[in-house]
Every structure is written in C-alpha cells, then in structure tokens.
Amino acid sequence: MSNPKTDPTSNAVKDPDDWVTGEEAMTGAQASYLKTLSEEAHEDFPDDLTKADASKKIDELQEKTGRGQ
C-alpha cells in the first residue's frame, strides 16, 4: 500500500463505497452542485443522500449533462 505522505496522489481517486465517511449526510457543496445538475438534467433533486451516494449521483448527472468532461 502506498504512503499518502510520500505519494500524495496514490489515494486521490477512491471508490465512494470505500470512503470512511461515506455514510454521512452529503456535504453542502455536494447538495448545491447536485441541485444544479438535477435541474439541468430535468430530474428530481434527491436531498437525502449520503456523501458516497451523492458522489455517485453527481458522476451520473455529469455524464448525462456533459458537465463531467
């Protein structure tokens, strides 16, 4: 396993399912961006997601709206 102090990019991209805090409520920043993406994608805004689920939904909506490129 890489040491994040000597190789800071080794854990820069981590599966949301592996996040230690993934089960906590989504952050304000996630909620704000998710609301914007939901509006652009003409989807309902899911306001009760965990951090991990919000991250996955953001990825999904970025793909759908073309914002994630």
pLDDT digits (tens, 9 = 90+) for 14-67: 888 888 887 999 999 999 999 999 999 999 999 999 999 999 999 999 999 998
- 6 in any annotated domain: no
Where in the sequence is the domain holding 54, given as residue range(s)? 22-65
Quote the DSSP letter at residue 19. -
Q: Total structural domains in the chain?
A: 1
- 31 in any annotated domain: yes
Q: In whole angstroms, what separates CA 15 from the centre of its chain?
A: 10
Residue 31 CA to residue 62 CA, distance in Å, equals: 14
Residue 62: the pLDDT is 96
- 10 in any annotated domain: no
Residue 19 half-sphere exposure toward CB, CA atoms < 13 A: 19
The three-state secondary structure class of 21 is coil
pTM for the full predicted model: 0.75
